[in-house]
Chains A and B, each alone.
Chain A
């Protein structure tokens, strides 16, 4: 049961680090580059939301990303000290341009919901635990 862990500070500068971490580990298990990319994008979008919106890009806040592959399923866990946000509350599909800001909004969460089979979040102790699942079979 392969399990990979990355600890990182809540700064957008770490997004490429997260991306390469996911890409490198998934490449060892998946041959389709489109699929590897989809799962990389979903993971990065999840982490980006937590870094920017949950933790306000405060590098003193520490998060943990964990990838597990079990029985043809990829499990992505994100342990985040910030309060949880509901990934299901945003419009689906997103408005390409939000009327209030005239900027694109909700695209990242839309991608997560499009690309993953199951998304849950719960509070455990002092952490929010996001759990994303993708069937790899």
Chain B
């Protein structure tokens, strides 16, 4: 399944819709797109990931979320993952991501 990442800025919030699978092949693309968006719009205060169509995440995908939180969180940017499917939530929870960022179930 092809991974699609769509970024939609809205005032000081960046909405990021991810569909498909976030793995070692697609995760670097997410990081590059986030980096570019934050560079282009330095007023961003929050990144909201819409995850209802995210069907799979590997450690590489989770690692990119952690790396993004570490690098962009220093700038005062909050992270939120919304509508996360149970399979993906379970992996994020096992890795401790649900303790360091806001993650809500589908």
Contacts and interface: CB of A to CB of B under 8 A. Distances in A.
Interface of A: 12-13, 15-16, 19, 33-34, 36-38, 40-41, 44-45, 48, 52, 93, 96-97, 102-104, 107-108, 110-111, 114-115
Contacts of A33: 86-87
Contacts, number: 69
B58 A108 contact: yes
Contacts of A13: 25
A37 B24 contact: no
Interface of B: 21, 23-25, 56, 58-60, 62-63, 66-67, 70, 86-88, 90-91, 94-96, 100
Contact of A108 (B56, B59, B67): B59
A98 to B, nearest CB: 10
**Interface majority SS on B: helix, strand, loop or mixed?**
helix
Contacts of A37: 56, 87-88, 90-91
Given A34-B87, A41-B91, A96-B100, A104 B67 contact: yes
A34 B56 CA distance: 11
A102 B67 CA distance: 8
8 contacts: A13-B25, A16-B25, A19-B23, A37-B88, A97-B70, A103-B63, A107-B59, A107-B62
Contacts of B56: 19, 37, 40
Nearest to A13: B25
Given A48-B58, A96-B100, A12 B24 contact: yes
A128 B66 CA distance: 32
Nearest to B62: A107
A96 to B, nearest CB: 6
Nearest to A102: B70
B58 A104 contact: no
B18 to A, nearest CB: 16
Given A33-B87, A34-B87, A96 B96 contact: yes
Contacts of A40: 56
A48 B25 CA distance: 11
B94 A16 contact: no
A25 B5 CA distance: 29
B94 to A, nearest CB: 5
